[in-house]
Amino acid sequence: MKNLKRQWKFIVVLIAGAVGLISQFALHSKSLFSIGNLQFPVHAIIIDIIGILMAISLLLEIFHDWKTGRYGVDILAVIAVVSTILIGDVWAEWMILVMMTGGETLEDYATGQANKELRALLDKTPRIANKLVDGKITEVKVDDLQVGDTVLIKPGQQVPVDGQIVKGTSSFDQSSLTGESVPVTKNPGDELMSGSVNGDVAVEMKVTKAAKDSEYQSIVALVKSSQAQPAKFVKMADRYAIPFTVISLIIGGVAWAVSGDATRFAEVMVVASPCPLLIAAPVALVSGMSSMSAHHIIVKSGPTLEKLARAKTFAFDKTGTLTENQLIVDQVVTDDKSFDQKELQSLAASVEQQSSHVIASSLVKATDKDLIHPVTNLKETTAQGVEGDVDGKHVKVGKLSFVAPGHEKLNVTSTAVYVSVDGKFAGYITLKDKMRPESPKTIERLRRQGAEDIMMLTGDHKQVAEKVAKEAGITDVRSELLPSQKIQAIKDVPKHLRPVVMTGDGVNDAPSLTAADVGIAMGAKGATAASESADAVIMVNDISKVNDAVAISKHTMKVANIDVLTAIGVVIIIELIAFTGVIPAFWGAILQEVVDMITISLGLLAKTKPSDKQFGLEEK
């Protein structure tokens, strides 16, 4: 609504100028009345009315800002507008209004995408559940489920609310909630989280929490809460507001005192109009956002660039962010001298080749096709493993308790499948997340770009997380976290290590992305809850784009600061010239336009390529 109001202000000013031009030059408008030496023709009345309304509107905004402790340069705009009204310089007044409202509109364009609704997250929220009543299935709204109800969860369906399995065993994909890269087997008595996805077997679940209290719906509430309480951030131009305002008022006041003519004060105030300051940062930020887009990064707001440029802490999700969300074979450990590693993997992959489980498919994919042999008498035991005959040998692959009872004391901390051949334990194969090839280099470059702390926030197991973190070059590892704990980890970052940038994907990352000062989503797979709630979205499957985002942001803010300071310097020089009385108000407004053009030209330099140092390609 605020953005729409600003756009209408700009449109109204343009219309007033067009009507004023027609009235003055086409219709030869005459003065309706005069006060002293001031004449009030139709075009002047029209523009003065708009100017007064704009000044009142600005004063109300200034008063509101003062109450919240924020001081901007808008007070100079009000003084400039009022001054031109008092000295009767209509077109100088109109130019000030154009640049003032035009700068606001341009700024709104740069930030207009910041408040998108989380359509993807809300669309995926479970709405219908299969309630069991006297053995019959009845479809009910999820919100109508009561604690104690029994629900049937079919293969491939989302768990509608938090509950406990009372019948059946199946694997559940919890990656979107906890970040675990491998589906988790759930047995009767185990807890289920809403939003997790059932595997291949239908189960019955007793409801333990109402929809509003369940995990998935809590994530939705967390995201909404984070959006409703955006982090406070001072716009760059406002940092120079007080000194620039004081300097301009002193020059104008001294000019008035020395000359004894109030017109001199008005002339200084016209050239002191903060239009260049108001437009410098937005132009640079829009240029920076355009540069981001060219690098396949969508940035939703200008302040995101400001915060990225100053970021000191970077947090990463593991699964699908630092890793490719794909398992690869880590170790093949044999327990029988009759088999070497190559043969053990061949037997295991041969038995697993018809399974759709993520571990099975990853193992098969990691095995040479020539080593995968036909399997007969294939049998699968739900949530336990598979067995079959390969080259005359009976092979069992799966959980240790299924494959080799009595070996339960074997301590393997990684994701693993166990293998027995002809009833004898033969060994095991461990799998690990496949690291993105660019992840270690990305972390190294972030440190070169000024990152003081880099941490991993994941819901995966400690041993798995630490292994991935070590490979990526991250020492600060937080594992086994739920979404709310990720948010707390971000909130706990001390002030001197802020702003915090969080990068992730998946539903489980949405709250932490909104809780961070800057949230970056890996959105190559399309619109997700993460990309909807993030401040920036990487549209290609490349984590090193985080480096590009930082580099472009640093370059953009360097250009923006140079632009603002140049505008201030040039304006103050013109103010000093106006101090002498050689620049009438109208020509002062024209000079303002020249300064604006210089400001815009400098701001467009943000589209140029950042330096290698800003990209983190040079050693410090």
What's the whole-number mean pLDDT along residues 229-241? Answer: 55
C-beta pairs of 226-235 under 8 Å, 24+ apart in sequence: 226/487, 226/511, 226/514, 226/515, 226/533, 227/115, 227/118, 227/514, 227/533, 231/517, 233/303, 233/306, 233/307, 234/70, 235/72, 235/281, 235/303, 235/306
Please say whether the beta carbons of 446 and 164 come within 8 A: no
Cα separation of 573 and 324, whole Å? Answer: 56
Q: At residue 565, does pLDDT exceed 80?
A: yes
Q: Taking the domain 325-435, which CATH number applies?
A: 3.40.1110.10
In the chain, % of residues over pLDDT 90: 30
Intervals of CATH 3.40.50.1000 along the chain: 311-322+437-539
Cα separation of 225 and 347, whole Å? Answer: 52
CB atoms within 10 A of CB 536: 27
The pLDDT value recorded for residue 111 is 43
Q: At residue 491, does pLDDT exceed 50?
A: yes
Average pLDDT, the chain: 80
What's the whole-number mean pLDDT along residues 166-178? Answer: 82
Decide which of 172 and 599 is more confident. Answer: 172
- Side-chain-side CA neighbours of 364 within 13 Å: the count stands at 16
Q: At residue 9, does pLDDT exceed 80?
A: no
Beta-ladder partners of 536 = 299, 520
Intervals of CATH 3.40.1110.10 along the chain: 325-435
Residue 44, both tokens: 């002047």
Question: Residues 468, 470, 471, 472: what is their CA dihedral angle, to the nearest 10 degrees?
Answer: 90
Q: At residue 141, does pLDDT exceed 70?
A: yes
What's the whole-number mean pLDDT along residues 358-367? Answer: 86
Q: Which of 286-295, 333-342, 465-474 has the highest mean predicted lDDT (pLDDT)?
A: 465-474
Beta-ladder partners of 463 = none
pLDDT digits (tens, 9 = 90+) for 284-318: 887 888 888 778 888 877 788 889 999 999 999 98
The pLDDT value recorded for residue 351 is 95
Q: Which of 143-152, 173-182, 524-533 has the highest mean predicted lDDT (pLDDT)?
A: 143-152
Cα separation of 314 and 466, whole Å? Answer: 17
The pLDDT value recorded for residue 526 is 43
Residue 609, both tokens: 């390529």
Decide which of 588 and 109 is more confident. Answer: 588
Residue 618: Cβ-neighbour burial (10 angstroms; 0-12, 13-18, 19+): exposed
Overall CATH class of domain 311-322+437-539: alpha beta
With cut-offs at 50, 70 and 90, classify the pLDDT of residue 229: very low
Q: What is the model's pTM?
A: 0.65
Helices then strands, each counted (H, E), the chain: 21, 24
pLDDT digits (tens, 9 = 90+) for 148-160: 999 999 998 999 9
Cα separation of 170 and 184, whole Å? Answer: 8
Q: Which of 11-15, 40-44, 339-343 has the highest mean predicted lDDT (pLDDT)?
A: 339-343
What's the whole-number mean pLDDT along residues 210-237? Answer: 59
The pLDDT value recorded for residue 481 is 87
Ramachandran angles phi, psi of 417, nearest 5°: -120, 145
Cα separation of 317 and 469, whole Å? Answer: 10
The pLDDT value recorded for residue 429 is 94
Q: Can you tell me which residue has the tokens 């080749």?
A: 353
Q: Can you tell me which residue has the tokens 């679940």?
A: 205
Decide which of 334 and 325 is more confident. Answer: 334
Q: Is 108 a catalytic residue?
A: no
Decide which of 440 and 72 is more confident. Answer: 440
The pLDDT value recorded for residue 29 is 55
Ramachandran angles phi, psi of 435, nearest 5°: -70, 135
The pLDDT value recorded for residue 376 is 93
C-alpha torsion sign, points 539, 541, 543, 548:
negative
In the chain, % of residues over pLDDT 70: 80
What's the whole-number mean pLDDT along residues 450-468? Answer: 89
Decide which of 180 and 57 is more confident. Answer: 57
Give me the catalytic one of 89, 108, 317, 596: 317
Cα separation of 428 and 587, whole Å? Answer: 84
Lowest mean pLDDT among 451-460, 467-476, 507-516: 507-516
DSSP state, residue 159: P
With cut-offs at 50, 70 and 90, classify the pLDDT of residue 426: very high
The pLDDT value recorded for residue 414 is 77
The pLDDT value recorded for residue 488 is 92
> H/E element holding 431?
strand 424-435
What's the whole-number mean pLDDT along residues 10-39? Answer: 66
Lowest mean pLDDT among 123-137, 266-280, 337-351, 459-473: 266-280
pLDDT digits (tens, 9 = 90+) for 30-64: 555 455 555 557 667 777 788 788 778 777 877 77
Q: At residue 3, does pLDDT exceed 70?
A: no
Between helices 42-67 and 90-111, what is the axis angle to 10°? Answer: 50
Decide which of 117 and 88 is more confident. Answer: 88
The pLDDT value recorded for residue 516 is 93
Pairing of strands 197-198, 297-299: unpaired
Decide which of 5 and 423 is more confident. Answer: 423
Cα separation of 340 and 347, whole Å? Answer: 11
